[in-house]
């Protein structure tokens, strides 16, 4: 990561900014000093483009994931990547210095700086000491902060208790965040979360509202009789995306409880077997719905 992150950043960042970052990292690695580190961490905004998004190749994405499973920088801006590169230097310090500095940064950081800190958690040492900070961060209703912890970040899947995980997943539903971007969404599924999704669905239906079809992914491996009834409701009363979500649950679930529903999803089964219907594709469609002219609503 020490060399990979700057190499990704260099593809889009100004040359002068990369020279400053390289010199700063070398200075801090040679003799770490808290105050200059704070200044550098904040000073990223003076060197990089606040509107500049990074470019990452498939090979680089694979290298990142091979180093830390599930880790991704897709969609990051230059500010975040530069700050995460700096935080790797902090990770080389002794435990006391590391934890004190992380706490101080979080206490004084602006929103973009906080997002960078939380994004770096899966790359940093002493992760067991960072769990409480991550859970606290999820209390925020600010989308960028929530996303930096919950989406494309393997830290929660590895370290969160079941209770903390379920709270994060349910809040993602309430905040209309893309569930397909939550790392470990299926491996951390559990009966309590499945029951909570069903309860929330019934609340929404009673109010004449719908639940995001992605939420049913949380129930795939824990299909109770109540969930079967919910799937039947989706197939009878839901829209196209509800049908697709129900079909994905039915096809993925190996229990006999849903066997009688398979005949009702023949078209969706063909799409699943052909690879055109997956949870990721459904999530992308829900995140970027098409406009009237057939184009995605946003890039």
- Are 176 and 144 part of one and the same domain? no
pLDDT for position 28: 96
Structure-block tokens of residue 201: 């669905």
- Are 74 and 147 part of one and the same domain? yes
pLDDT for position 133: 98
Cβ proximity of 113 and 105 under 8 Å: yes
Number of separate domains in the chain: 2
Residue 291 has pLDDT above 60, yes or no: no
Task: Let me know if 119 is exposed, middle or buried by CB neighbors in 10 A (0-12, 13-18, 19+).
Answer: buried
Separation of alpha carbons 162 and 150, rounded Å:
14
Structure-block tokens of residue 249: 């649950």
Separation of alpha carbons 22 and 89, rounded Å:
11
Looking at residues 126-144, what average pLDDT do you find? 97
CA-closest candidate to residue 106, choices 95, 118, 96: 118
Domain end among 126, 160, 194: 160
| DSSP code per residue over 20-77 | HHHHHHHHHHHS--HHHHHHHHHHGGGTS-TT-B----HHHHHHHHHHSTT---TT-B
- Are 202 and 234 part of one and the same domain? yes
Domain end among 137, 160, 183: 160
pLDDT for position 79: 96
Residue 257 has pLDDT above 80, yes or no: yes
Structure-block tokens of residue 299: 């890039």
pTM flag (> 0.75): yes
Higher pLDDT, 37 or 292: 37
- Are 276 and 292 part of one and the same domain? yes
Separation of alpha carbons 161 and 173, rounded Å:
19
Q: How far is CA 226 from the centre of its chain?
A: 29
Alpha-carbon Rg for the chain in angstroms:
22
pLDDT digits (tens, 9 = 90+) for 42-97: 999 999 988 899 999 999 999 999 999 999 999 999 999 999 999 999 999 999 99
Separation of alpha carbons 297 and 281, rounded Å:
15
- Are 178 and 272 part of one and the same domain? yes
Separation of alpha carbons 165 and 227, rounded Å:
20
Cβ proximity of 64 and 73 under 8 Å: yes
CA-closest candidate to residue 157, choices 134, 174, 136, 175: 134
Domain end among 160, 176, 207: 160
Q: Which residues have CB under 8 Å from 49's CB, separation 6+?
A: 13, 14, 78
Structure-block tokens of residue 262: 């398979």
Structure-block tokens of residue 70: 């599930």
- Are 105 and 167 part of one and the same domain? no
- Are 40 and 79 part of one and the same domain? yes
- Are 59 and 204 part of one and the same domain? no
pLDDT digits (tens, 9 = 90+) for 159-208: 999 999 999 999 999 999 999 999 999 999 999 999 999 999 999 999 99
pLDDT for position 296: 55
Host domain of residue 82? 4-160
Residue 298 has pLDDT above 70, yes or no: no
Structure-block tokens of residue 86: 């700096």
- Are 28 and 99 part of one and the same domain? yes
Residue 77: φ, ψ to 5°: -100, 175
- Are 13 and 153 part of one and the same domain? yes
- Are 132 and 166 part of one and the same domain? no
- Are 155 and 23 part of one and the same domain? yes
CA-closest candidate to residue 44, choices 3, 13, 88: 13
Residue 224 has pLDDT above 70, yes or no: yes
Q: Provide the mean pLDDT of the chain.
A: 94
């Amino acid at each position: 990561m020490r060399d990979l992150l700057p190499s990704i950043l260099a593809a889009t960042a100004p040359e002068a900014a990369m020279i400053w970052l390289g010199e700063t990292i070398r200075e801090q690695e040679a003799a770490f000093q808290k105050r200059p580190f704070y200044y550098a961490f904040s000073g990223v905004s003076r060197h990089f483009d606040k509107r500049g998004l990074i470019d990452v190749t498939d090979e680089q994405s694979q290298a990142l994931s091979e180093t830390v499973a599930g880790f991704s920088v897709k969609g990051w801006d230059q500010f975040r990547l530069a700050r995460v590169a700096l935080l790797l230097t902090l990770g080389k310090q002794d435990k006391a210095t590391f934890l004190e500095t992380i706490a101080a940064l979080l206490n004084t950081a602006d929103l973009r700086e906080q997002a960078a800190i939380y994004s770096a958690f899966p790359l940093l040492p002493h992760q067991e000491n960072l769990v409480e900070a991550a859970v606290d961060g999820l209390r925020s209703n600010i989308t960028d902060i929530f996303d930096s912890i919950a989406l494309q970040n393997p830290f929660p899947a590895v370290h969160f208790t079941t209770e903390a995980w379920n709270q994060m997943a349910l809040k993602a539903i309430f905040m209309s965040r893309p569930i397909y971007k939550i790392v470990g969404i299926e491996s951390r599924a559990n009966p309590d979360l499945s029951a909570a999704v069903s309860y929330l669905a019934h609340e929404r239906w009673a109010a004449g509202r719908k639940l995001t079809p992605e939420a049913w992914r949380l129930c795939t491996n824990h299909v109770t009789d109540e969930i079967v009834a919910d799937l039947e409701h989706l197939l009878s009363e839901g829209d196209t995306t509800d049908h697709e979500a129900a079909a994905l649950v039915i096809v993925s679930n190996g229990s006999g409880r849903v066997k009688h529903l398979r005949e009702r999803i023949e078209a969706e089964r063909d799409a699943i077997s052909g690879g055109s219907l997956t949870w990721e594709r459904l999530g992308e469609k829900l995140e970027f719905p098409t406009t009237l002219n057939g184009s995605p609503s946003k890039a």
